[in-house]
Amino acid sequence: MNRFKDASILITGGTSGIGLATAKRLSGEGARLLLTGHSADHIDAARNALPDATVIANDASDPDSVEALAEAAASFAPGGLDGLFLNAGYGAFESLGDIDAAHVDRHFDLNLRGPLLQARALADRIGDGGAMLLVGSATVGGARADTLVYSASKAALRQAVRSLASEFAPRGIRVNMVTPGLTETHFHTRGGMPDDAQKTYKEKVAGMIPLGRIGVPDDVAKVAAFLLSDEAGYVTGAELRVDGGLTMA
Ligand SMILES: NC(=O)c1ccc[n+]([C@@H]2O[C@H](COP(=O)([O-])OP(=O)(O)OC[C@H]3O[C@@H](n4cnc5c(N)ncnc54)[C@H](OP(=O)(O)O)[C@@H]3O)[C@@H](O)[C@H]2O)c1
């Protein structure tokens, strides 16, 4: 398939996990890519993996960084972006007794305020008829005590997708959400879960997944690519879950 030939796409958090897998998939289908990341080693690795991509450091949790992002987008795609995948996110699993203001702020700054301010700053940089994609979480709708703040931040973003879809619809810009289940990335390490706890957790969740395994980044990347492509040209305000059936009941 060559669905993204010469399309200009921006992916935040494009240096690792789901964002990087989506970048590789879109690049393989002809896209020009502007990727953002946060850590120098992942930025270098992404540059090596995708030498044709433009990879920049840009902190999605910092409101002062959105103007630099808009400027980078303008010089990367003077004619406008065709797609925007606001994927950067973070989750640390803590129950009520272990949370504090910094924990709440870190989640909401990156998972909610970041994409909202980016969407605002980049609104004039997306061409009419383009696509915007955000990332939810299969923990939303569940009742786990330890995903309290992470799930709340993603639930808020899930709701925001609908307003954004209404906002951008008059310009033919579609806004959707891809919602991964447990996916093998740096996410849990970044959230502070020790390796042995991750192993136990992933084995336990795999046993609950109807399709019998946890996800890999490309499982999500395939669906992200579909939602960003013209094949989803009549889809907006939608959420597609990519979780092996974990949350279908
Ligand atoms: N993995 C899962 O099980 C899972 C499940 C549901 C939803 N999700 C969601 O999927 C999305 C991608 O996560 P992932 O699983 O691919 O995790 P990941 O491997 O940790 O990748 C996260 C990406 O976000 C970037 N990032 C983190 N903080 C940032 C910041 N402040 N500013 C800019 N970029 C930042 C990282 O950049 P650097 O690597 O350069 O630091 C990296 O490229 C997130 O929104 C996450 O909430 C993941």
Instruction: State if residue 83 touches ligand 1 by the CB under 6 angstroms criterion.
Output: no
pLDDT digits (tens, 9 = 90+) for 50-68: 999 999 999 999 999 999 9
Q: For residue 185, what are the contacts with CB-CB under 8 A and spacing of at least 6?
A: 16, 17, 18, 217
Closest CA to 219 of 50, 21, 30: 21
Instruction: State if residue 215 touches ligand 1 by the CB under 6 angstroms criterion.
Output: no
d(CA 42, CA 45): 5
Cα(234) to centroid(ligand 1), Å: 28
Query: What DSSP string runs through 85-119?
Result: EE---------GGG--HHHHHHHHIIIIIHHHHHH
d(CA 182, CA 171): 34
Q: Is 150 a catalytic residue?
A: yes
pLDDT digits (tens, 9 = 90+) for 113-138: 999 999 999 999 999 999 999 999 99
Domain ranges of the chain: 8-187+216-240
pLDDT digits (tens, 9 = 90+) for 224-239: 999 999 999 999 999 9
Q: What is the CATH T-level fold of the domain 8-187+216-240, as seen in this structure?
A: Rossmann fold (3.40.50)
d(CA 121, CA 114): 11
Q: How far is CA 141 from CA 120, 155, 177, 209, 221, in A?
A: 27, 8, 15, 16, 23
Cα(18) to centroid(ligand 1), Å: 7
pLDDT digits (tens, 9 = 90+) for 96-116: 999 999 999 999 999 999 999
Instruction: State if residue 89 touches ligand 1 by the CB under 6 angstroms criterion.
Output: yes
Q: What is the pTM of this model?
A: 0.98
